[in-house]
Amino acid sequence: MADHQQKLQQQKPTILCISTYEKGQPFLQEAARLGVNVVLLTVDKHKYGDWPRESLTTLLTMPENLTPVQVLNTVTYFARETKIDRIVALDEFDLEVAALLREHMRLPGMGESLTRHFRDKLAMRVRARQSGVLVPDFTPVFFYDDLHSFMQNTPGPWLLKPRTNASAIGIRMIESPDQLWPILDQLGDLQSHYVMERFLPGEIFHVEGITWNREILFGAPYKYGKPPMQTMHHGGVFSTRALSRESTDAQNLDVIHRQVIESLGLISGVTHTEFIKAHADGRFYFLETAARVGGAHIADVVEFASGINPWVEWARIEVATLLHTAYALPPVQPNYAGSVICLARQERPDTSRYDAPEVVLRLHHHHHAGLIVRSMSAERIEALVGQYSDGFLEEFCAVEPVPDKPSA
């Protein structure tokens, strides 16, 4: 019986999923449901995590902080006994090693150069600007004369951003030229891994996208409450809400989102892309993108609003690509949704008094308060998210130091 099962598994193609964080469970479940072998490679501390083990052919673990070459050795050793047909990085921090593995094993998918467009803030800015997309003025941190010239000719303040960190982690505000040089001295050889950008005050938006064969099939526009950088560095409540599809902002975001994804060369997959609407001129500027599902329960918000789960659709795209079959986006529902989430002072915060009938999900995480609301009305969602954000800030919100790297 075991031999028969093994033969059946060998007849099916295999997707290797890499995730150093505990996420992507819907992807794993859907890929297995569609009839492929799913191998998950994660780190040792997540060996007993909340994985859908019934969907996994194999669960592999490795120590944390392995070098890319060590991960490559781990995977190629496993590949002696199991043929790997496709590799998917479920988290942004695994994109580069997945690209390295594809290049080394000559597997289809994004190689190292294309991956940089969805991982490296300098690469994506250069490519987008070359294609005519509006981006805030920026300069690489290589030639010091360029930095001097940039600060002389570009109004401050400026942001010094790590080229490959996610979210707002590691971003530093530079108020004057004198402030920059000691920071660069402190960074030493790491300074070339940063990009310097003009700080544009404005409102931050994001678009959750699905692309198939270079055609953008889905682009859901959302607006953050407070900018993620402000929430990350100064504390507060994270919130996002769907924009009215008829709004001018939604229509303008659709145009620039398409410009960005087309310019960066994505063939098929999901994207999470952020934009800023500058207070100075009211125009949208591209900030960054990633070839992954948005974090902070954004996938849940998108599913409640549209019926589209980005994790599930990503799995369907990967399997369709692997099996050379067609992919079609399911019908999109015309609802709106939003979320309110914060770090909480209480171990198990009680959100029961936030009891509008539009509440469809309450998040139950240690020292976190959170909920998701859904309605047929964008205005109702906007009002609820604003009201509940104010309540969470007063009743639950706690602040802790900014981490050096993400914890989820």
**How confident is the model at residue 4, as a pLDDT?**
47
Residue 404 has pLDDT above 60, yes or no: no
CA angle (209, 214, 218) in 5-degree steps: 25
Query: For the segment 2-14, what is each residue's pLDDT rounded down to a tens digit?
Result: 554 565 556 899 9
Strands (E), 193-318: 194-198, 202-212, 215-224, 238-242, 269-278, 284-290
Question: Where do the CATH 3.30.1490.20 domains begin and end in the chain?
Answer: 137-198
| Percent of the chain residues past pLDDT 70, beyond the cut | 93
Size of the chain, expressed as the number of residues it contains: 408
**How confident is the model at residue 228, as a pLDDT?**
73
Query: For the segment 52-93, what is each residue's pLDDT rounded down to a tens digit?
Result: 999 999 999 999 999 999 999 999 999 999 999 999 999 999
Residues 6+ apart with CB under 8 A from 283: 134, 277
- In CATH, what number does 202-395 get? 3.30.470.20
- Integer Cα distance of 138 and 187 in angstroms: 19
**Res. 151 pLDDT band, cuts 50 70 90:** very high
Q: What is the mean pLDDT of the chain?
A: 94
Kindly provide the b/e burial profile for residues 182-213, where b requires at least 16 CB atoms within 10 angstroms of the residue's own CB.
eebeebeeebebbbbbbbbebbbbbbbbbbbe
Determine whether domain 2-116 maps to CATH 1.20.120.160. Answer: no
| Percent of the chain residues past pLDDT 90, beyond the cut | 90
Residue 165 has pLDDT above 80, yes or no: no
- Integer Cα distance of 70 and 38 in angstroms: 22
Residue 239 has pLDDT above 80, yes or no: yes
Query: For the segment 37-57, what is each residue's pLDDT rounded down to a tens digit?
Result: 999 999 999 999 999 999 999
**How confident is the model at residue 6, as a pLDDT?**
61
Question: Where do the CATH 3.30.470.20 domains begin and end in the chain?
Answer: 202-395
**How confident is the model at residue 168, as a pLDDT?**
65
Query: For the segment 170-224, what is each residue's pLDDT rounded down to a tens digit?
Result: 899 999 999 999 999 999 999 999 999 999 999 999 999 999 999 999 999 999 9
- The topology under which CATH files domain 137-198 is Dna Ligase; domain 1 (3.30.1490)
**How confident is the model at residue 403, as a pLDDT?**
59
Mean local confidence (pLDDT), 390-399: 94
Mean local confidence (pLDDT), 94-113: 96
**Res. 229 pLDDT band, cuts 50 70 90:** low
Residues 6+ apart with CB under 8 A from 323: 13, 36
pTM for this one? 0.93
- Integer Cα distance of 177 and 169 in angstroms: 22
Question: Where do the CATH 3.40.50.20 domains begin and end in the chain?
Answer: 2-116
**CB neighbour class for 124 (10 Å; exposed up to 12, middle 13-18, buried from 19):** buried
